[in-house]
């Protein structure tokens, strides 16, 4: 019976390198402004990269790297949860409403739960 640890080491190296490339791609795209640090794409790229590097540790274990990758995955899961709940909350609120006096009234929710009304003429 074959297990994952019986696979050839070059395969694990390749998986780890793909994870590294994903890390660098995500960080590079973030730095040049192509993606946001609060986006699904950035968070998922980091989570997949961490998972791939974690898989690459099967044959050549390294405790420090294991801790980093597991932490990165856990933080990504929290980030995905926050993105999902934040976007769901934003969709349920009205963005703006056009009034009868030829102006738009925006509803901005402050951190303390109060609503601020801003009239744009």
Q: Could you give phi then psi for residue 44, rounded to 5 degrees?
A: -65, -40
Q: And the tokens for 107?
A: 């509803």
- What secondary structure letter does DSSP report for 62? -
Any idea where the domains of the chain sit in the sequence? 4-93
The 10s digit of each residue's pLDDT in 71-101 is 999 999 999 999 999 877 766 555 555 555 4
By CB neighbour count within 10 A (0-12 exposed, 13-18 middle, 19+ buried), where does 76 fall? buried
Query: SS3 of 78, please?
Result: helix
Distance CA(77)–CA(71), nearest Å, equals: 10
How confident is the model at residue 87, as a pLDDT? 75
Global pTM reads: 0.69
How confident is the model at residue 105, as a pLDDT? 47
Q: And the tokens for 84?
A: 């999902």
């Amino acid at each position: 019976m074959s297990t994952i640890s019986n696979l050839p080491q070059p395969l694990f190296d390749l998986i780890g390198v793909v994870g590294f490339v994903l890390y660098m791609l995500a960080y590079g795209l973030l730095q040049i402004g192509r993606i946001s640090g609060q986006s699904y794409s950035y968070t998922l790229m980091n989570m997949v990269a961490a998972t791939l590097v974690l898989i690459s540790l099967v044959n050549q274990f390294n405790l420090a790297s294991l801790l980093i990758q597991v932490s990165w995955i856990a933080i990504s899961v929290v980030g995905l949860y926050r993105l999902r709940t934040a976007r769901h909350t934003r969709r349920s609120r009205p963005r703006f409403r056009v009034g009868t006096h030829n102006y738009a009234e925006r509803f901005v929710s402050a951190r303390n739960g109060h609503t601020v009304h801003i009239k744009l003429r």
